[in-house]
Amino acid sequence: MKHDAPLLSTHALTVGIAGRSFCRDLALSVQAGESLAILGRNGAGKSTLLSVLAGLRQPKAGEVLVDGESYAALGARKSARIRGWLPQSRSEAFSSTVLETALVGRHPHLGRWDWESEKDAEIARQALAAVGLAELALRDLQTLSGGERQRLAIATLLTQAPRLYLLDEPVAHLDLNHQIATLELLAALARQERIASVMVLHEPGLAARFCTRALLLFGDGTTQHGPCQEVISSESLSRLYGYPLCEVGDGQRRWFVPG
């Protein structure tokens, strides 16, 4: 690890599928305490790029570094102690309680033959409380609603306690109250514990409110990234989504509506 290295960085990164490039020669960095929003239309490559950043898919060219090292150099266990991954969709093949599911997040911190300790269980309980699921700890996973399962997935990630969160649509399936609560929770972790996050979002107003930086994927290999105040604008978003958008706000928060 390099002490001055960003938690996530890319160098000359090119990502694509089946001859189509979603980004070319991408160079970006995410420091501790920063939050990067990835915005783009359906099919623009947001989830594909995020999976490359998580080390789950190989890029066409370039490299991804986590805390100054490659995933290959770190290895799977050490990578999982640094980087947490929230996929867009999940399947739960086996029945388990909410608490048992959250405890899966402790696996990167355990030895090969170790069992979860009471300390691990307490970490999981605190994570469940943070997402409002404390009272459901003994409920069967299969009885949860879609929104409750999403919050459980976030709690499992909190239990893992990484320093870098990679989140594919973290507010999907959540009602408005829990969307805001989840993003406020991540913002608090950034302020208090200096975690970094990269998240795919569909609402640019939420990105402008809760993230420090933004990356726009235009779907043709071109990108734009930088501070949210500079990158997220009615002009850039109209180009991004292929539809005219207007900015409205109250002097503190900005929202974007169809023109």
**Residue 139 falls in which region: left (phi positive, over 0), alpha (psi -120 to 50) or beta:** beta
Q: Which residues contact 228 (CB under 8 A, 6 or more apart)?
A: 37, 207, 208, 211, 212, 213, 214
pLDDT tens profile 153-164: 999 999 999 999
Position 135 in a domain: no
Position 193 in a domain: yes
C-alpha–C-alpha distance, residues 180 and 133, integer Å: 16
Per-residue pLDDT band for 93 (boundaries 50, 70, 90) equals low
Position 156 in a domain: no
Position 58 in a domain: yes
State the average pLDDT for the chain. 94
pLDDT tens profile 178-231: 999 999 999 999 999 999 999 999 999 999 999 999 999 999 999 999 999 999
Q: How do strand 213-217 and strand 35-40 relate by DSSP bridges?
A: parallel
Position 244 in a domain: yes
CATH number of domain containing 63: 3.40.50.300
Which of 11-48 are b and which e, b meaning 16 or more Cβ less than 10 Å from the residue's Cβ?
eebbbbeeeebbbbebebbbbebbbbbbbbeeebbbbb
User: How many degrees, rounded to 5, is the angle at CA 107 between CA 101 and CA 111?
Assistant: 145
Q: What's the rounded mean pLDDT across residues 135-140?
A: 96
Model confidence pTM above 0.75: yes
> Which residue range forms the structural domain that includes residue 55?
8-92+162-258
Q: What's the rounded mean pLDDT across residues 95-99?
A: 93
Compute how many other C-beta atoms are within 10 angstroms of the C-beta atom of residue 228: 20
Share of the chain above pLDDT 70, in %: 98
H-helix or E-strand containing 231? helix 228-231
Position 150 in a domain: no
Query: Are 101 and 151 a contacting pair, CB within 8 Å?
Result: no
Strands laid side by side in the 83-86 sheet: 83-86, 164-168, 196-200, 35-40, 213-217, 223-227
Whether 1 has a pLDDT exceeding 50, the answer reads: no
Q: Report the number of distinct structural domains present in the chain.
A: 1
Position 44 in a domain: yes
Whether 2 has a pLDDT exceeding 60, the answer reads: no
Positive or negative torsion for Cα 150, 153, 159, 160? negative
Position 123 in a domain: no
